[in-house]
């Protein structure tokens, strides 16, 4: 195949650029990923050996697609194509010992990490500190992404470190020690350790710089400090670094991604070549107009035209539903219609949500119409207990020091070894400076164990020895044998009906996954299988089955494309997310997230929101997303399917973002956050629906107006209902259940709450 014939002149320019830094800066759907794949094939065609090329992306799914495309162009290429995390894991297996890391280290995923953090918090008596382990976990992860160790984390916080930072700092330190003693690293460490290696070992840096002479990075706008450092370190002596990206699609700021990495590429490499791709090849004109109009509301961006030579296409649909159930049912029946009419297959349709919890309702609607679907990023296969238990055995085989894996496997199936016995075992192991598995072999010497615990521990150690003898067998065989020898499969098979069956089916599925892995990687060991499974993120587990509707979060959808896209739940608190209402920067990231969602659609785009949403067990009135007020009228048809006019109180009044037609033409103006104005009118004005308005009171209300049942508006949390009032006078407190974001309590005389009149 001719590598260049179906490329535009600009794309060709990027593909054929061989030496020196290259920046491809271009909008969504303009062929950036295509340029990366073609460029790899082109370099190979120029005689550059595959092992000198490194192609990096963010998800295994994207990496897999890229590898496939390259292989179809050049079989046996030997190019390393993968995610940042995967390449780092590989480098650490090779060079980890230089920084004191065992070659057989274990990789802890997010639930493993949370488990260790919880146990560290118990150990440090911080379980009741009022700081949630999840919060500590997020802070530690964020610190690592910013390349901070426990000491620099605390130093940066200064002497006046607040309570939360102080707790995080203490846990962080002990957590790192725990990892070290178990010969384990978490996902973030994979990057951090490689950065330390490259910084601390000049000879190694030069060696790797030379080994990977050509480095290509897709979606560069989402790189964080550590990823940036790695890419930079590999491109000093041979700066043949090619990065592609779109600043308008930067959506990982909350996880430490730094937009400046791409904005300052030209500064980092003054001699770099910059290629801009002009045309979008993915979407219809109508879809692109909606995306373009929306993103212009971001102030922090370089203006950029989004155009396409594709047809006009159907108008984008925006629908208001009465409730989330109606919304889900309508999405399901619309999908059924589209497929029945023969226009699309299920696999060509995707539904995006802001948070995974929203998929449940959609799932039941799809199921009731027998529509096949798959959820990307929900409780996925690899997070199921039975699968994780089995993988714990593999981890322990790989790394006998891994106490987390030990603690998981030891009672799977239950062996009657309780927490007290395990605590004693741990104390014994610590005392001797040995791992728990080794201590089990010597269970007879551990004080205070019951005979049952003693024999259970010894048998377990023997089992592990037996399994260890199989380590050079195929992944499938080791997996199958461990399930039978441990009695784990039988344990589930003998459970009363229902639960057990499902789990046995999943165990069998894991054996098939291992078999598949053996076929695809003939040289690999069970250890590689384990690494592969641990590293695959939610998106990566998404099998392209062709015949199923995909449900996924907007974050997971990055880089993908679908003929038909639904985006549901366009409501305040969801999108923009309530968490993101604190600053303009966060609001802009939410806007980019919606922009990413819109630009995934090739032919049809359907947006929707509800008047009432039940979410996390709370049924409340929902305010349309302020972003809906920022969409253009022309390419959109608006439908009000709520049918609630005159029937309910507030729901009949179309509460929505303040329409400000002047803003569309003056995009530089910052968007008004929802609820900052007290006159709220309807999103229906977008598409010729009724233009009713509801008025919300301004300041100065008598506190007496706050009674249980009264609807109130909060500038940050949006609309809610008072569920309880407590106390009297200036300290009177009110509990408010918000449409989204849960319940909160306020001191009424101080809170910026307004009763909504006429409700």
Ligand X SMILES: Nc1ncnc2c1ncn2[C@@H]1O[C@H](COP(=O)(O)OP(=O)(O)OP(=O)(O)O)[C@@H](O)[C@H]1O
- Known catalytic residues are 32-33, 218-219, 249, 600
Which of ligand X, Mg ion, none does residue 8 bind to, with CB < 5 to 8 Å depending on kind?
Answer: ligand X
Is 608 a binding residue for Mg ion by CB under 5 A? The answer is no
Is 10 a binding residue for ligand X by CB under 6 A? The answer is no
Answer yes or no: are the C-beta atoms of 382 and 357 closer than 8 Å.
no
Find the part of the chain contacting ligand X (CB under 6 A) among 21-29, 378-386, 400-408, 563-571: 21-29
SS3 722: strand
Is residue 601 marked as binding? no
Q: Categorise residue 32: left if φ over 0, alpha if ψ from -120 to 50, beta otherwise.
A: alpha
Q: Which of 3, 30, 363, 711 binds ligand X (CB under 6 A)?
A: 30
Choice between 154 and 291, CB closer to Mg ion: 291
| Biggest alpha carbon–alpha carbon distance for the chain | 81
Q: Which of 12, 17, 34, 38 binds ligand X (CB under 6 A)?
A: 34
Q: Which of 3, 10, 14, 31 binds ligand X (CB under 6 A)?
A: 31
SS3 576: coil
Is 33 a binding residue for Mg ion by CB under 5 A? The answer is yes
Min separation Cβ 596 and ligand X, Å? 8
Is 559 a binding residue for Mg ion by CB under 5 A? The answer is yes
Is residue 31 marked as binding? yes
Contacts of 250 (CB under 8 A, 6+ apart): 221, 222, 257, 259, 262, 589, 592
Is 556 a binding residue for ligand X by CB under 6 A? The answer is no
Is residue 27 marked as binding? yes
Tokens for 296?
A: 């212009």
CA dist., res. 334 & res. 324, Å (int): 15
Answer yes or no: are the C-beta atoms of 727 and 621 closer than 8 Å.
no
Is 27 a binding residue for Mg ion by CB under 5 A? The answer is no
Angstrom CA distances, 23 to 65, 240, 303, 525, stand at 22, 11, 18, 38
Q: How many CB atoms lie within 10 A of CB 114?
A: 15
Choice between 186 and 604, CB closer to ligand X: 604
DSSP assignment of 341-398 equals: TTS--GGGEEEEESSGGGHHHHHHHHHHTT--EEESSSS-GGGSHHHHHHHHHHHHHH
How distant is the alpha carbon of residue 417 from its chain centre?
Answer: 36
Angstrom CA distances, 729 to 104, 623, 713, 749, stand at 65, 31, 21, 8
CA quadruple 349, 352, 356, 358: dihedral positive or negative?
Answer: negative
Which of Mg ion, ligand X, none does residue 213 bind to, with CB < 5 to 8 Å depending on kind?
Answer: none
Is residue 184 marked as binding? no
Site string for Mg ion, 299-338 (x = CB under 5 A): ----------------------------------------
Answer yes or no: are the C-beta atoms of 597 and 554 closer than 8 Å.
yes
Choice between 31 and 569, CB closer to Mg ion: 31
CA dist., res. 570 & res. 628, Å (int): 8
Task: State which of positions 598-617 bind ligand X (CB under 6 A).
Answer: 599
CA dist., res. 582 & res. 237, Å (int): 43
Is 32 a binding residue for ligand X by CB under 6 A? The answer is yes
Is 555 a binding residue for ligand X by CB under 6 A? The answer is no
Is 249 a binding residue for Mg ion by CB under 5 A? The answer is no
Task: State which of positions 274-293 bind ligand X (CB under 6 A).
Answer: 281-282
Helices (H), 234-343: 260-263, 265-268, 285-295, 324-340
Site string for ligand X, 41-60 (x = CB under 6 A): --------------------
Min separation Cβ 549 and Mg ion, Å? 22
Which of ligand X, Mg ion, none does residue 195 bind to, with CB < 5 to 8 Å depending on kind?
Answer: none
Is residue 26 marked as binding? yes
CA dist., res. 349 & res. 346, Å (int): 6
Min separation Cβ 30 and ligand X, Å? 4
Site string for ligand X, 571-600 (x = CB under 6 A): ----------------------------x-
DSSP label of 665: H
Is 29 a binding residue for ligand X by CB under 6 A? The answer is yes
Is residue 448 marked as binding? no
Is 31 a binding residue for Mg ion by CB under 5 A? The answer is no
Task: State which of positions 243-272 bind ligand X (CB under 6 A).
Answer: 246, 249
**Contacts with Mg ion, residue ranges (CB under 5 A):** 32-33, 559
From the annotation, which residues make up the binding site for ATP?
26-33
**Contacts with ligand X, residue ranges (CB under 6 A):** 6-8, 11, 26, 28-34, 246, 249, 281-282, 559, 561, 599
């Amino acid at each position: 195949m001719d590598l260049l014939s179906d490329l535009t002149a600009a794309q060709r320019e990027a593909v054929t650029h061989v030496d020196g830094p290259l920046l491809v800066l271009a909008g969504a759907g303009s062929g950036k990923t295509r340029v990366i794949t073609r460029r790899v094939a082109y370099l190979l065609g120029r005689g550059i050996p595959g092992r000198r090329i490194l192609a990096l992306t963010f998800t295994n799914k994207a990496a897999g697609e890229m590898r496939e495309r390259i292989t179809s162009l050049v079989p046996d290429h030997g190019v390393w194509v993968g995610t940042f995390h995967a390449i780092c894991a590989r480098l650490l297996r090779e060079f980890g010992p230089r920084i004191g890391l065992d070659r057989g280290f274990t990789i802890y995923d997010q639930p493993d990490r949370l488990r260790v953090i919880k146990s560290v918090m118990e150990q440090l008596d911080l379980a009741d500190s009022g700081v949630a382990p999840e919060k500590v976990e997020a802070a530690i992860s964020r610190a690592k992404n910013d390349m901070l160790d426990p000491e620099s984390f605390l130093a940066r916080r200064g002497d006046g470190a607040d309570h939360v930072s102080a707790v995080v700092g203490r846990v962080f330190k002990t957590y790192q020690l725990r990892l070290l003693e178990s010969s384990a690293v978490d996902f973030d460490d994979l990057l951090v350790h490689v950065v330390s290696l490259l910084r601390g070992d000049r000879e190694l840096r030069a060696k790797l710089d030379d080994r990977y002479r050509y480095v290509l990075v897709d979606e560069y706008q989402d790189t964080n400090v550590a990823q940036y450092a790695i890419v930079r370190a590999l491109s000093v002596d041979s700066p043949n670094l090619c990065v592609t990206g779109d600043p308008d699609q930067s959506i990982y700021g909350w996880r430490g991604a730094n937009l400046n990495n791409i904005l300052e590429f030209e500064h980092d490499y003054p001699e770099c070549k910059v290629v801009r791709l002009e045309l979008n090849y993915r979407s219809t004109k109508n879809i692109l107009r909606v995306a373009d109009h929306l993103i212009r509301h971001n102030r922090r961006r370089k203006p950029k035209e989004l155009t396409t030579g594709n047809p006009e296409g159907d108008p984008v649909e925006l629908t208001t539903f009465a409730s989330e159930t109606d919304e889900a049912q309508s999405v399901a029946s619309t999908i059924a219609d589209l497929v029945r009419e023969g226009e699309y297959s299920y696999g060509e349709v995707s539904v995006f949500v802001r948070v995974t919890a929203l998929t449940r309702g959609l799932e039941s609607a799809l199921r009731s119409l027998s529509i096949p679907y798959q959820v990307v990023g929900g409780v996925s296969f690899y997070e199921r207990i039975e699968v994780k238990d089995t993988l714990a055995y593999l981890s322990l085989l790989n790394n006998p020091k891994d106490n987390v894996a030990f603690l998981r496997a030891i009672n799977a199936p239950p062996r009657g070894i309780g927490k007290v016995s395990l605590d004693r075992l741990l104390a014994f192991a610590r005392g001797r400076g040995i791992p728990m598995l080794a201590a089990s072999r010597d269970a007879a010497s551990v004080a205070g164990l019951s005979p049952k615990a003693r024999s259970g521990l010894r048998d377990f150690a023997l089992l592990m020895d037996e399994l260890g003898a199989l380590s050079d067998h195929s992944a499938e065989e080791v997996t199958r044998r461990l399930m039978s020898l441990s009695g784990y499969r039988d344990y589930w098979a003998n459970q009363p009906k229902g639960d057990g069956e499902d789990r046995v089916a999943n165990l069998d599925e894991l054996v098939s996954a291992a078999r598949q892995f053996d076929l695809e990687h003939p040289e690999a060991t069970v250890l590689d299988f384990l690494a592969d499974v641990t590293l695959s993120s939610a998106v990566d587990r998404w099998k392209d089955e062709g015949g199923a509707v995909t449900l996924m979060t907007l974050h997971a959808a990055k880089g993908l494309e679908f003929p038909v896209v639904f985006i549901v739940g366009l409501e305040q608190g969801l999108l923009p997310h309530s968490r993101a209402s604190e600053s303009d920067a966060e609001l802009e990231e939410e806007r980019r997230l919606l922009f990413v969602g819109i630009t995934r659609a090739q032919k049809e785009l359907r947006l929707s929101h509800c008047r009432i949403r039940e979410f996390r067990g709370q049924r409340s009135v929902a305010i349309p997303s302020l972003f809906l007020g920022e969409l253009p009228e022309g390419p959109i048809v608006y439908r009000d399917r709520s049918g609630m006019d005159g029937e309910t109180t507030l729901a009949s009044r179309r509460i929505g973002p303040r329409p400000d037609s002047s803003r569309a033409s003056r995009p530089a103006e910052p968007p008004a956050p929802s609820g900052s104005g007290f006159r709220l009118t309807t999103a229906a004005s977008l598409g010729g629906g009724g233009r009713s308005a509801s008025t919300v009171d301004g300041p100065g209300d008598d506190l007496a107006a706050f009674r249980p049942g009264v609807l109130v508006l909060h500038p940050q949390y949006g609309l809610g209902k008072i569920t309880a009032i407590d106390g009297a006078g200036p300290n009177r407190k009110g509990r408010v259940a918000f449409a989204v974001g849960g319940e909160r309590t306020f001191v009424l005389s101080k809170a910026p709450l307004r009763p909504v009149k006429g409700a």
